[in-house]
Structure 1
């Protein structure tokens, strides 16, 4: 078995490689070559933590395994650790034996950012120039850094419940030599692309904050009850997702479907757009929305790439297990 510790991940995988791995696995999912297992996510009754498992099997990439982990909301203040903690386990699909254990914290950040960027590449208008961010936490920097590589953006605007966190967004914008502006939610109508990345259980924004022609990537809703945008926004948009079953059960679409504003059949797989089965955006005035729930296959695809590079470079730790 190979072990790739968290401390080694940053030197082994790039945002670009994560993007390629996630785009490929979304395409495989849409073709039926890969599928995710049912998600387990529970409040454990200790430290107000959410813990669970996401897994799946990619018959094309031959990735089998799971990610175990969750969200410990007091880690940063109590222990100086990031609140999201996870580990990826890969298994040999031919024998069932454990093959690898990989630190999953940075991988999760990279694969989540890659998912929204894949949606931006395939669904945003080609002339998109203003990038909007709702949320400014740890994951937001990864989201923004990855998104800015998809189009020739000329400006970044951002809003957060805690405006004292917005300098982090300004720092990323500066990396790309782009101007940055703090806005109120009403000012988000200037954006051509909007990413929301929060842990909210109540809608933050809605149709009044999104201009016609905008692409929205809702990346924070991955649990029953979570909600970042008003359900009416999904009713006005063409909705895409990583996996339909998760979108309507634990993703942003759960609320719109429950309210009868959209049907399950109106939620489209982003993989169909990648494969050319769905045309994606149909006009410059259309609002497109990607409901990024986070699927286990994303983690497995990126982890598999990491293990291959680590073995090649001789930095993977091999143990007899």
Structure 2
């Protein structure tokens, strides 16, 4: 078995490579060549943690495996990130475990990649302003991934933590981009052509009336029952896209509008993979509001882990162990 520790994973996969790989596996799923299997995601009842297991396979590559991990909200004082996860890959031909890959960094870039792919296919091409609701660790991945697909001139941000806003602002300005931190969420939303929400919120942070016509929204925070970032009235007023239908309606952003009877499966225009594959329409007009519900799927995790393994083998890196 090949073991890839966290410090090595960071050197093996760049955001641009992750974006290309995730886009390809989304397309493979739309064409029936890849599948996400049912997710296990539960509140642990210890340390306020949420733990989940995501599994899947892409026969076009091929790869097979699982990612296990979750959210431990008290980790920062311990010198650890709140999100902790690991990916286990199996040989598709024999079923033998073939690689164990630390997935903290890889989870960050695959989440940024999914959002950026949605932005690439669903936002207006002339979009120049990016709004970020939630400026924790994931916001940097979102920023850098978005910059690979759109020419962003100004970043607007909101976060309840002034320290988070300041740290994120330094990252933005170091890249030579104008930065505005907002005390009012509504101002950040109204001024954004592209809006990314990436928080652990359990109540709506973005209201319908704040969103301008033509805005694209990547809602990336909701991945557990009860999480919420968007007003259900906003959801039912927009063109809707998902990474995985079943997850979106049960643990994703659209769960709330679905539970209230405001949307159903027929309200979803398609998966992001369908748009990439050309089997579903993306944005239909410059005035349309589009929303991508990024719940996070196994295929994203597995494709970046598989890429890390391939790069490690090419470079003679990682640690081989008997298993």
Aligned to 1:140: 139
| 1:278 CA displacement | 1.7
Mapping 1:129-278, distance limit 5 Å: 129-183=128-182, 184-187=184-187, 188-267=189-268, 268-278=270-280
In structure 2, C-alpha distance between the alignment counterparts of 1:210 and 1:236, rounded to whole Å:
11
**Structure 2: 5+ residue runs without aligned partners?**
none
1:91-148 alpha-carbon deviations (Å, 9 max, x no partner): 0111110010000100000100000000000000000011111001111111112112
| 1:176 CA displacement | 2.6
In structure 2, C-alpha distance between the alignment counterparts of 1:313 and 1:12, rounded to whole Å:
9
Mapping 1:1-321, distance limit 5 Å: 1-77=1-77, 79-183=78-182, 184-187=184-187, 188-267=189-268, 268-321=270-323
In structure 1, C-alpha distance between the alignment counterparts of 2:41 and 2:133, rounded to whole Å:
25
In structure 1, C-alpha distance between the alignment counterparts of 2:88 and 2:174, rounded to whole Å:
34
**Matched residue SS, 1:166:** helix
In structure 2, C-alpha distance between the alignment counterparts of 1:152 and 1:222, rounded to whole Å:
29
**In 1, are the aligned partners of 2:190 and 2:212 still within 8 Å (CA)?**
yes
Higher mean Cα deviation, 201-210 or 299-308? 201-210
**In 2, are the aligned partners of 1:202 and 1:227 still within 8 Å (CA)?**
yes
**Matched residue SS, 2:11:** coil
Structure 2 length-normalised TM:
0.97
**In 2, are the aligned partners of 1:242 and 1:295 still within 8 Å (CA)?**
yes
**Matched residue SS, 2:300:** helix
**Matched residue SS, 1:95:** coil
In structure 2, C-alpha distance between the alignment counterparts of 1:171 and 1:55, rounded to whole Å:
37
| 1:320 CA displacement | 1.9
1:19-53 alpha-carbon deviations (Å, 9 max, x no partner): 01110111111111111111111122211111110
1:176-227 alpha-carbon deviations (Å, 9 max, x no partner): 3111011222212111000000000111112122110000000000000110
Higher mean Cα deviation, 67-76 or 260-269? 260-269
In structure 1, C-alpha distance between the alignment counterparts of 2:170 and 2:63, rounded to whole Å:
36
**Structure 1: 5+ residue runs without aligned partners?**
none
**Matched residue SS, 1:8:** helix
1:241-287 alpha-carbon deviations (Å, 9 max, x no partner): 11111101100111111111111122220111111112200100000
In structure 2, C-alpha distance between the alignment counterparts of 1:237 and 1:163, rounded to whole Å:
31
In structure 2, C-alpha distance between the alignment counterparts of 1:259 and 1:149, rounded to whole Å:
37
Give the count of matched residue pairs.
Answer: 320
In structure 2, C-alpha distance between the alignment counterparts of 1:197 and 1:172, rounded to whole Å:
17
In structure 2, C-alpha distance between the alignment counterparts of 1:49 and 1:182, rounded to whole Å:
30
| 1:16 CA displacement | 0.4
**In 2, are the aligned partners of 1:141 and 1:168 still within 8 Å (CA)?**
no
**In 2, are the aligned partners of 1:221 and 1:227 still within 8 Å (CA)?**
yes
1:153-174 alpha-carbon deviations (Å, 9 max, x no partner): 1111111122331112212322
